[in-house]
Amino acid sequence: MSYRAPVKEYQFIFDHIVDFDKVRATDLFSEATSDLTDAILTEAGRVAEDVLAPLNRVGDLNPARLENGVVRTPPGFAEGYKALAEGGWIGTAADPEYGGMGLPMAVTTAINEMMSGSCLSLQLNPLLTQGQIEALEHHASDEIKATYLPKLISGEWSGTMNLTEPQAGSDVGALRSKAEPNGDGTYAITGQKIYITWGDADFVDNVCHLVLARLPDGAPGTKGISLFLVPKKLPDDNGNAGVSNSLKVVSLEHKMGIHGSPTAVMQYDGATGWLVGQEHDGMAAMFTMMNNARLGVAAQGVGVGDGAYQHALAYSMDRQQGRSMIQNGTGAIIDHADVRRMLTTMKADVFAARAISAACAVAIDMGRATGDQAWQSRAAFLTPIAKAFSTDTGIQITQTGVLVHGGMGFIEETGAAQYYRDVMITSIYEGTNGIQAMDLVARKLMDGGETAFTLISEIEDHAEAARGRFPELAEAVWQAAETLRETTEWMVEQKDYNDRFAGAVPYLRAFGRVLGAHYHLKAAMAGDASRAKWAAFYIKRLLPEHAACLAHAREGADALYALSPDDLAA
């Protein structure tokens, strides 16, 4: 089955759902006209369909491998990457001063979704480079920017992030990697990092690693960590990749999915690196990259979910099985009510998650273009929701895609299982979804819930405006938003953060469900009869999940700890 990029869907979302015209109205993004963005999305869709999609299965069947210290990528990946680099797709949001397009993050998010929906394993490479570009733009010295940014933006070089160590996963402050000043402005980096996505590649001249390490006078914990740029090859006097640095790929992980993407164990043995940002302030610089990547991973969840939906839909329209229960049925399994339920849920959820991610990207663009704290707060608030809701949704969609195939979904040759295996990692990337939820109910509610309440009020105001055309749907959305408001008030009142954390995941899930219903209702108001049908399905059948989630969220932590480890083991 061929992949079809959601170009028209994004055009509709930009025009009618997420107020992208506000982005175009800013001085910073005034050149992102409708004609320009439509042309860019159309071309990105063509690349995704024609260049990347044929590589998806190839990468799964021909995993990246390490041979004599050299990472070998799957057949065709080099050519696919070359198409991305030469087309300028790596630097779409990057600063034009260094060769980037300077496009809004909303457009980049749409492009990233198309690329990941067609071939996640390869798309991971430019996604990480994009995050490194943004981190360097914000925190690196002018000299580092001049040397590295043009090469990263052009795709000649690629970038990674190095946080995790064997003993330091989510607890980054437990890292042991160290940095010693060399006395010439550079540092000697020593340590081992694990789970380094695209830690090496045979189709770029250089791989640039952002590495967290501790200086000799660095305090314990995260406050004593610094960030260093450590290239595989040291730039020569002309800024080109020169002699090899003192680092290597020790091994590649054998993974559940994304086989085409090499996930490396990296060893640094006094490797030369340059400080990025201020000493002992590495987490601030690294979080710039991580927040960029969190929205990118949200787009990955949507993209792979959409790919799985398209795959399942094609199968359901072709597979003949059983007796049709409807008039004028085709005899294919798409006639069956439960298969229709699965497919409808998949597509309705794709739209909801896509709209949430696009709304987050628009908030980022507005915050950057205007400097308005309200937009910046909204972007920060929506980021964990977009990341966790979209990737959880992607996992559910791909799992359902296997079920649509029935027994054939369990057979690798159909390709249905690959989507499920590949997308699972997105719920772990850039902080697990549980950590995203904890961030939402803690740090993101530190304003007393002001940002959350503003969003909820907007949902209620739109529902009020929709009562004339869709009274039943509008009432359901309004009531759901009001229940969400009450639970948000409960969250803000809890002084014991463990009570918040105990219900963080269902709270985030509920917020995503209500936002999804809001965007479906907006689509019904702006679109045709088909959009109204989709809104009715989502609001009547999927939105009610929010009530159970919010009830769960308000229960606090006592019941969890009433069960002892002995009870759990019994």
Strand positions, DSSP E, 182-330: 187-197, 206-214, 225-231, 233-235, 241-244, 247-252, 263-276
3-state class of 98 per DSSP?
helix
Task: Classify 191 as helix, strand or coil.
Answer: strand
CA dihedral 406, 4, 91, 78 (to 10 degrees): 70
Output the DSSP codes for 359-427: HHHHHHHHHHHH--HHHHHHHHHHHHHHHHHHHHHHHHHHHHHHHHTGGGGGSGGGSHHHHHHHHGGGG
* CB-CB contact of 97 with 222 (8 Å): no
Please name the residue that has the structure tokens 């049925």: 329
Token pair, residue 167, equals 């003993």
Annotated catalytic residue within 49, 113, 430, 460: 430
165 is catalytic: no
Whether the CA torsion 376, 97, 107, 292 is positive or negative: it is negative
Number of neighbouring beta carbons within 10 Å of residue 329 = 12
CB atoms within 10 A of CB 17: 22
Catalogue the active-site residues: 430
